[in-house]
Amino acid sequence: MLSLPNPIKLGSKSPRRKEIMKLAGFEFEVVDIDFDEKIPHNHSFKIEEIPSYLAEQKALHYTERKGDEILITADTLVFLHDDVIGKPRDKEDAFNILQRLSGKMHQVITGVCIITEGDKFMFHDISKVYFKPFELRELEFYIDNYEVMDKAGAYSVQDWLGVIGIEKIEGSYFNVMGLPVHKVYEALKVIANH
């Protein structure tokens, strides 16, 4: 549907972002960007700005971009109140994260940076996720049987815990999955019409 003049590079190791881009019908190549996703300690960002900042930093660390390429990077974080919840350090940390999220609403914020020749688009999307209260054995089962280490908030919306535990989502499902593809599509439409 969308005809872009330049090749798309997706700077992400996330299989979920790759899946979302394929669902949207984009042709793209995945590129590896070596970047340590750390939030500066003395930052003055509002919480919704942190993922966009990290996505931009990731894009700036990609040194192999050719002039005509469209580079897309993203970063997703989970926030409980104003606390940043990233990826768990180990299984014990994953358990503690999920216990904190149990029975509560949390925000999933994904920041996106799209760089083209001469243009940069930055935006974010916010979704509210409402979890049911979990039993300890449900969390133990999930952590023992599913991959939790590479996910902000230690869960995935599309696997077992998301399926049985999410009572409601306000906002984009795909944002919770890792990429607000509706906003990416609109930005790429602007690029295509340039």
Q: Is 61 among the domain residues?
A: yes
Q: Tell me, what's the pLDDT at 1?
A: 65
**Tokens in use for 96?**
């503690």
Q: Is 3 among the domain residues?
A: no
Tell me if 7 sits within 8 A of 29, measured CB to CB: yes
Q: pLDDT for 116-170, tens place per residue?
A: 988 899 999 999 999 999 999 999 999 999 999 989 999 999 999 999 999 999 9
Q: Tell me, what's the pLDDT at 134?
A: 98
Which of 107 and 64 is assigned the larger pLDDT? 107
Give yes or no for residue 65 having a pLDDT over 90. Answer: no
pLDDT band at 39 (very low <50, low <70, confident <90, very high): confident
Please enumerate in sequence order all residues whose Cβ is within 8 A of that of 55, keeping only pairs 6 or more positions apart, or say none.
Answer: 73, 74, 75, 111, 112, 113, 122
Quick one: average pLDDT of 25-40? 85
Q: Is 1 among the domain residues?
A: no
Q: Tell me, what's the pLDDT at 118?
A: 80
Q: Is 26 among the domain residues?
A: yes
Give yes or no for residue 178 having a pLDDT over 80. Answer: yes
Q: Tell me, what's the pLDDT at 157?
A: 95
Q: Is 91 among the domain residues?
A: yes
Q: Which helix (DSSP H) or strand (DSSP E) does residue 9 occupy?
A: strand 8-11
Tell me if 13 sits within 8 A of 174, measured CB to CB: no
pTM of the model: 0.92
Q: Is 147 helix (H, G, I), strand (E, B) or coil?
A: coil
CATH, residue 183: 3.90.950.10
pLDDT band at 35 (very low <50, low <70, confident <90, very high): confident
State which residues form the domain around 14.
8-192
Domain count for the chain = 1
Q: Is 105 among the domain residues?
A: yes
- CA gap 163, 5 in Å, rounded: 39
Q: Is 22 among the domain residues?
A: yes
Q: Is 107 among the domain residues?
A: yes
What does pLDDT average to over the chain?
92
Q: Tell me, what's the pLDDT at 91?
A: 96
Q: Tell me, what's the pLDDT at 131?
A: 98
Query: Could you give the residue numbers annotated as active site?
Result: 75
Q: Tell me, what's the pLDDT at 194?
A: 75
Which of 49 and 2 is assigned the larger pLDDT? 49
- CA gap 76, 184 in Å, rounded: 14
